[in-house]
Structure formats: structure tokens, C-alpha cells
């Protein structure tokens, strides 16, 4: 599998890096647009039920849009992590560190991977809470629906925005290393 990924990256490295960056931009950019542009527009909807329905619908559409890009991001990250040789530059076959700088870069890759995993888990939780909102709205429980949407908008989306920006910064750092 490693040989396949290395060959794939050797033949399509530019495309793989592009897909990786584009996926991060769509995911993080979508959350920024939702939180700072769409959210302010939703606040102007006077009818509380309609406001909650619009927010839930917009989040559902956002999650459908970003989900394939999250998968592309993970696949391209694995291909790059394997193909770019960070591990081989950092440690020998026995696991002994051969370059402190290379080991630092190799550790940054792991930090970045952990960040994207946390973001993915947070996204899955947001999708779960958002699906509960539709059920609550059908039942007429606008108080609990609002609380769940509030949790997504106030805490979960901003967390993913911050983590995404950190991961993008680490990616730029690694690319320039």
C-alpha cells in the first residue's frame, strides 16, 4: 500500500496537494461563512420557529457539502504523510531519532492529524445534534431545539474554525519546511 501511495503521489502530487488544500478551504471556509455571514442573516427572521427551521436546514446543507471534502482531506493527508518521507527523515529503521528537526516536523504531522480527527468527531457530533433538532421541531419543542442549535453555533462551529485555522497554519509550516 505504501508503494502505491508513493507512486500515486509521485504521479499526481500537485493534484493531491491541491485537493487537500481545497478540501480544508471548503470545510473551514464553509464554517466561517455560516457562523459570521449566514448566522447574522438568520437572526433577522422574526418568527422563532421559522428561524430555527432555517438554521437547521442551512446546517444540514453545509454538512452535506463539507462531508465529501472531509473524506478527501483525510485520504490526501494519509497519502502525503506516507509519501513525503517525514518519518524516514526523522527516525531510522530501529526508531532512533536521526534528525531533531525532521523529528519536529514529523511530530507536527501527528499534531495536524489529531486536530483534523478532533474536528471530524466534532463535525459528527454537530450532525447528530442537528438531526435531533428536526425531530424536536416536529414535536414542537422549540426550547430544546434552540438549545441544541445554540451549542452548535456558539461552541462547536467556532471550535472547528479555530482548530481548522491552526491545522492550515501547520500545513503551511510543513510545506515550507
Residue 53 CA, distance from chain mean position:
25
Task: Tell me which residue has cell 461563512.
Answer: 33
Q: What's the domain count of the chain?
A: 1
Three-state SS letters, 76-125: HHHHHHHHCCHHHHHECCCCCECCHHHHHHHHHHHHHHHHHHHHHHHHHH
| β-strand partners of 91 | 97
pLDDT at 24: 96
Domain that holds residue 30: 2-175
pLDDT at 126: 97
What is the C-alpha separation between 108 and 105, in angstroms, rounded? 5
| 136 in Cβ contact with 148 (< 8 Å) | yes
Cell numbers found for residue 57: 436546514
pLDDT at 90: 84
What is the C-alpha separation between 129 and 29, in angstroms, rounded? 21
Cell numbers found for residue 147: 438549545
What is the C-alpha separation between 155 and 166, in angstroms, rounded? 17
pLDDT at 128: 97
pLDDT per residue of the chain (177 residues) written in tens, 0 to 9: 889 999 999 999 999 999 999 999 999 999 999 999 998 899 889 999 999 999 999 999 999 999 999 999 999 999 998 888 888 888 888 888 898 998 999 899 999 999 999 999 999 999 999 999 999 999 999 999 999 999 999 999 999 999 999 999 999 998 887
Amino acid at each position: 500500500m505504501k508503494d502505491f501511495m508513493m507512486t500515486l503521489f509521485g504521479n499526481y502530487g500537485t493534484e493531491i496537494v491541491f485537493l487537500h488544500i481545497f478540501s480544508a478551504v471548503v470545510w473551514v471556509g464553509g464554517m466561517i461563512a455560516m457562523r459570521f455571514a449566514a448566522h447574522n442573516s438568520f437572526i433577522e427572521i422574526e418568527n422563532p420557529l421559522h428561524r430555527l427551521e432555517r438554521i437547521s436546514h442551512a446546517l444540514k446543507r453545509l454538512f452535506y457539502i463539507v462531508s465529501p471534502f472531509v473524506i478527501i482531506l483525510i485520504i490526501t493527508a494519509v497519502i502525503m504523510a506516507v509519501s513525503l518521507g517525514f518519518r524516514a527523515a526523522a527516525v531510522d529503521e530501529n526508531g532512533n531519532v536521526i534528525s531533531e528537526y525532521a523529528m519536529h516536523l514529523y511530530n507536527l504531522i501527528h499534531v495536524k492529524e489529531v486536530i483534523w480527527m478532533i474536528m471530524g468527531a466534532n463535525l459528527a457530533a454537530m450532525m447528530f445534534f442537528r438531526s435531533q433538532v428536526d425531530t424536536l421541531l416536529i414535536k414542537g419543542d422549540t426550547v430544546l431545539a434552540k438549545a441544541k442549535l445554540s451549542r452548535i453555533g456558539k461552541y462547536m462551529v467556532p471550535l472547528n474554525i479555530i482548530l481548522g485555522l491552526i491545522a492550515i497554519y501547520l500545513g503551511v509550516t510543513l510545506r515550507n519546511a
